[in-house]
Amino acid sequence: MKLIMTKDKNNVSNNQNRMRNRLVGFATLLLILALIAPWIITDKSNTTTSTTPILQPNIVNQQFQSVELTPDDSLTQNNSSDVANFPYALDTDQNPSSLISPEINAEDVSEPITTDQTVTTAQDSKLYMIQIAALRNKQKIEELVALLRLNNYNVKVIPKNPEPNQLIKLQVGPYAKREQAEQVIDNLNNLTKQKSIIITN
């Protein structure tokens, strides 16, 4: 009886081992297919090679040298050289005084008239700057410059190399229109905690 039970246990364990081996084999097969399948399935038409021929410089030069003049080109060259050989004859019927330009009187020349358009373009050409601060503390100016550049503002320090205890102006800009500067000034005041003003450059 014990022999039969041990045989049954051995059969059951053998069956479990076989089942486990089959599952492991199936899992490895699926893994291999998962790795290889994308390579097989991918569309090979996407990987087209360039069909444009690459010309070497010496071949291109040979092609240009081998081009000869066509008969039409040679005719036009002959005609142009024939025209150059004819002497120029002045027409005697033509009045020679008509070829001379009349003298211009100073009274006839009027001064250029300034219009409103030229005045407005001159006003539009002004650049507007926002002056953040004018301080003698170089360290505070450097902190403000770093803060403004961190926030992508175009910063200008006047003078660039200040002497000790010299007044340093910190400006942002330039802006083409005053309205643009007015839109930016509130953000600058909130960012720097300074009272900024708009100046023309």
Give the start-to-end residue ranges of the domains of the chain: 124-200
Q: Using the predicted structure, report yes or no on whether residue 188 has a pLDDT greater than 50.
A: yes
Cα R_g (the chain), whole angstroms? 45
Q: Which pTM was predicted?
A: 0.37
Tell me the mean pLDDT in the region 185-198.
Answer: 86
Per-residue model confidence (pLDDT) at position 119: 46
* Residue 55 pLDDT grade (very low, low, confident, very high; cuts 50, 70, 90): low
Per-residue model confidence (pLDDT) at position 22: 92
> Alpha helices of the chain — where are they, by DSSP H?
2-41, 57-66, 71-85, 116-124, 138-150, 178-192
CATH of 124-200, one of 3.40.50.880, 3.40.50.300, 3.30.70.1070, 3.30.470.20: 3.30.70.1070
